[in-house]
Structure 1
Amino acid sequence: MEKISSVDQFNEVLQNEKDFFILKHSLTCPISSSAYKACQSFSENEEVKLVYVPIQEARETSTHIAEAFNTRHESPQVFHVKDGQPVWNTSHSRITEKALKEASTR
């Protein structure tokens, strides 16, 4: 998984990747820790790009993502993005490796 912290990094991934996942991750939340582990395992076992934003370090970027995808900010929160648009998202304890695998086939 690749860490991104700036709006510019997010926009670069959005422009250069046709199909990827992005996790908005809280560094202090135990639910977010579980979601991070699920994403990490998913990214190690699947041929898919997955980036994450540590929200405490990159609040502006996290807010920008919510606005760009016209969604309410949640943490943890994961999006599946294709061709620059979110095609799926979920949050909190619904972020599991199984859910990510299912979303990857959409």
Structure 2
Amino acid sequence: MSLLNTLFGRSEKKEELSNVNWLPLNSIDQLVSIKELSKSETVLIFKHSTRCGISRMVIKQFEKMFDESMRSIKVYYLDLLNYRDVSNEVGYTFQVLHESPQLLIIKNEVAVANASHYDITQIDISKFIE
């Protein structure tokens, strides 16, 4: 029966819900808001390439790092391929050399940490959350 359900578009596979509070980052103007917000709380920016296998693997692992207690952390998702100008401005604004995938941790208007590729999964985000 499961095979028939799969063949006809019904799958019994459960979709996992993410604990990551993903917010789209698709405008340079949003960087002003992110900097302002970072004065009162830690903000993350995840730069992702939708055509990169490493980026796909890392984003899945990144989501697994988040538990229920981390749901309130704002994580801005930047699609590098569609918003290259925004990515360039992120690098300039926070003085971080572009890499992909890349995670920036923003506090008090500056990048207090950043990592790329598999190093993203090694960051202890809780150290930067108050």
* TM-score normalized by the length of structure 1: 0.85
Contact kept, 8 Å, 2:48 with 2:79, in 1: the verdict is yes
* Structure 1 residue 8 corresponds to structure 2 residue 29: yes
Identify if the C-alpha distance between structure 1 residues 44 and 7 changes in structure 2 by more than 3 Å, giving closer, same or farther: farther
> 1:53 maps to what in 2?
78
* TM-score normalized by the length of structure 2: 0.71
Give structure 2 stretches of 5+ with no counterpart: 1-21
Larger Rg belongs to: 2
Question: Which of structure 1's runs of 4+ aligned residues deviate more than 6 A?
Answer: none
Larger helix fraction of residues:
1
SS of residue in 2 equivalent to 1:10: helix
CA distance in 1, matches of 2:94, 2:77: 15
Give percent identity, aligned residues only.
Answer: 28
Larger RCO: Structure 1 or Structure 2 (Cα < 8 Å, ≥ 6 residues apart)?
1
The aligned amino acid for 1:92 is H
Give structure 1 stretches of 5+ with no counterpart: none
Q: Bigger shift: 85-94 or 32-41?
A: 32-41
The two structures, once aligned, show a CA RMSD in angstroms of: 1.7
Larger strand fraction of residues:
1
